[in-house]
Amino acid sequence: MDPSNLEKQREPETARYLDFPNSKPGSGLNKFSSTLTREHDFPAAQAMLYAAGVPNREVLKTYPHVGIASVWWEGNPCNTHLLDLGKEVKRCVEKQNMLAWQYNTVGVSDGITMGGEGMRFSLQTREIIADSIETVTCAQFHDACVTIPGCDKNMPGCVMGMARHNRPSLMIYGGTIQPGFSKLLQKPINITTALEAHGAFIYDTLKNPNDPSETKDAILTDIEQTACPGSGACGGMFTANTMAMMIETLGLSLPGSSSTPATSPAKMRECQKAAEAIKICMERQILPRHCLTKQSFENALVMMMALGGSTNGVLHTLAMATTAEVPLTLADFQRVSDKIPFIADMAPSGKHLMADLYDIGGIPSVQKMLIAAGLLDGSTITITGNTLAQNVDSWPSLAPEQTIIRPLSNPIKPTGHIEILHGNLAPRGAVAKITGKEGLKFTGKARVFNKEHELDAALASGLIPRTENLVLVVRYEGPKGGPGMPEQLKASASIMGAGLKNLALITDGRYSGASHGFIVGHICPEASVGGPIAVVQEGDVITIDAETKRIDMDVSEEEVARRLKEWKPPARVVTRGVLAKYAALVGEASQGAVTDLF
């Protein structure tokens, strides 16, 4: 696609969004802010802007206004440094003769809330972030928007907000964390180590091979204290890095943004480059929906499958596409997964982290390889004003001796790791993450838990046996039923840490990007709306088959119908407050669990 011919691209449908019929846009970069500043129609607004720091009338009348939205807050390493990144962006934007206005959105730490009731608040922050960015940008008549997210839901939330207001925008990823290092175990570790060590702790298999006399308490304490050495998002191809990588591929962040570590000097240099790039977007009117096309989403799915991205990537990509009004369905994920090899030896199923990938060229080097192989379309437009192929052309190629990214001729798995399953347990689909290391088919008897905490309690008490194949069913944890569709990494990590290979785990909730094993999530319809998962009974035989792409319980159609007829919906878990509002508005996972499909 020729980036000089943006007018040939699709004109986004904006009928559902506010079009400001009373605004009087100017012809310069201050297209929207001039509504407030060019004459004396809004003297009170101008008085407020002077008080906020505008130095004189010339700047007021001629400088465009750029909003800088960071998801900064203290108490989470993914986000704690974002205020400093925002300040650097502000300084650099002002050097471009533009006004920069910083503001924040809310955030939730998935790592801190994992396994607790706080996790129910996590997914809905994606909608609050999008609402915040849309609100401030439109209410304050900003001409452009730079977003700076850190943790999982931050990134799709930022993109959804940008797609709604559709003004020149770009995203700076806060960056990945550096690897931790355990003093006792004398090896690199990360957040997944801490979670999986909990399972080993419970089943009394947590040992220090360097010192067999070390207590499990001392080992776990050491892991807790050293897994996260500083600022940055969880280091593997977990949800944060998955979404950052996909959004870079969509063209909404600078080349290398998703793989540049949070604490590296290069991340600060990215802030400087972003100020230049946002001005280019304004001058050429490169808008978010110019980048958010069906082909760019196809590219993002290719990268997701090649690098082993999180199952949350399915949920969030559907949400971004839905908001941008790009037709994308679960079937698209399966189609791309069927043709793209899984080639990345990266955590959680592999051993390397994003910081390791950065050292050998990062995401742009992988993109360059896949463009050369004809698997990525390099013609899609990006916020630099260049195409994806032009962005990575001068980037170093992957060295033949590196071992993180396998050759396409020798993949870890010849097809992608994401499988979209259907069957009498998931008539409208489910998402499985199957790398092949645990096999491609699993059959076992159902053990049913109506909430995640019930399974966590059973695991913590050592009540799940190693003696027979079991399919652990966790239900009433979907978008409405949770409410909030909590991630269930605590359970899946405990299972992996304890080495319970006789188990599969299925849910109408979802999993962290750090999860691995034989797991299926996003089962639709969810239990709380009367999906078949609501009537699974103890002992029902369940089969998960990645080759036939089926998930079924060995129960006749007539028996399922009988059970559903007798089923009664449970009382609502939450009746007031933000989770009640979320449960009332949210759609199903197969459409991205968005709240604005009316």
Strands (E), 45-98: 65-70
**515 in active site:** no
**45, 189, 491 from 219: Cα distances, Å:** 59, 12, 20
Where b means 16+ CB within 10 Å and e means fewer, 337-351 reads beebbbbbbbbbbbe
Contact indicator for 471, 444 with CB cutoff of 8 Å:
yes
Chain position carrying tokens 């001039």: 34
Strands (E), 149-246: 169-171, 180-182, 187-189
Backbone angles phi, psi at 53, to 5 degrees: 130, 0
Strands (E), 20-70: 65-70
Spatial CA neighbour of 534 closest among 464, 478, 595: 478
Q: What DSSP designation does 117 have?
A: G
Identified catalytic residue from 512, 515, 528, 590: 512
What is the rounded CA–CA span in Å between residue 127 and residue 9?
Answer: 28
**88, 249, 342, 390, 397 from 363: Cα distances, Å:** 24, 9, 15, 14, 11
Chain position carrying tokens 């240099």: 269
What is the rounded CA–CA span in Å between residue 220 and residue 307?
Answer: 30
Contact indicator for 498, 409 with CB cutoff of 8 Å:
no
List the helix and strand counts (H, then E) for the chain. Answer: 22, 14
- Two structure tokens written together for 71: 């998801």
**Helical (H) or strand (E) element with 266:** helix 265-284
Give the residues across from 419 on adjacent strands: 432
With left for phi above 0 and alpha for psi between -120 and 50, is residue 462 left, alpha or beta? left
3 state SS of 180: strand
Strands (E), 434-517: 441-449, 470-474, 503-507
What is the rounded CA–CA span in Å between residue 12 and residue 212?
Answer: 63
Chain position carrying tokens 């189609």: 335
Contact indicator for 480, 528 with CB cutoff of 8 Å:
yes
Residues 6+ apart with CB under 8 A from 274: 89, 92, 146, 170, 172, 254
Which residues are tagged catalytic?
Answer: 512
